[in-house]
Amino acid sequence: MWKRALNLLYIPFGALDIGIDAVRAAPYCLTLTELHIDSLRQRALPHICALRNLRILSVEVVFRTVCNELIYLKSLSNLKELYLSFEDEGYEPVDDAGLIEPLELVIASVFRRPKVYPEMYFPYSLKCLTFSYLAFCKDATLRTIAQGYVHFYAFFAV
């Protein structure tokens, strides 16, 4: 039986393919506050977002992920730092029907706060946000992200 708290977990490239379910079912998942992943593939984000105590999530390369998976970020109400680097500038996520949905619309919907109990949803507690390959976002999307988030310490778009 695992008796020690685990706060930080690093998953190297390729190890996530073994099974994110193992991380979610591990006895330390309740104490995990930092998760650093080298690569994130399709269908992994819902499992990661089930780790409700995460404060820091860092993904080095987000491969072509199904659009509606990004919505799972909303369940991470305690997340304070988010670092995402998308696969390339030509990133075009698809929905479950295989239709291409503009990533800027997906990102805008993820960062739109609900009117009722916004403190219970992402990105209420977010202090630092870093995106790489932000060529897909237009000014309106960046305004949607920044609107109402004056408590951000940092917002980097590289």
State the chain's mean pLDDT as an integer.
72
Report which listed range, 17-26, 92-101, 120-129, 146-155, is most confident.
Answer: 120-129
One of 3.40.50, 3.80.10, 3.30.390, 3.30.465 is the CATH number of 8-157, namely 3.80.10
Question: What is the tens place of the pLDDT at every residue in 92-132?
Answer: 555 555 555 566 777 777 887 778 887 888 878 888 888 77
Cα–Cα nearest to 122, from 134, 108, 132, 112 = 112
pLDDT (mean) for 76-84: 87
pTM of the entire predicted model = 0.77
Please check whether residue 34 is in contact with residue 54, taking contact to mean a CB–CB distance below 8 angstroms: yes
Largest CA distance in the chain: 51
Each domain of the chain, given as residue ranges in start order, spans 8-157
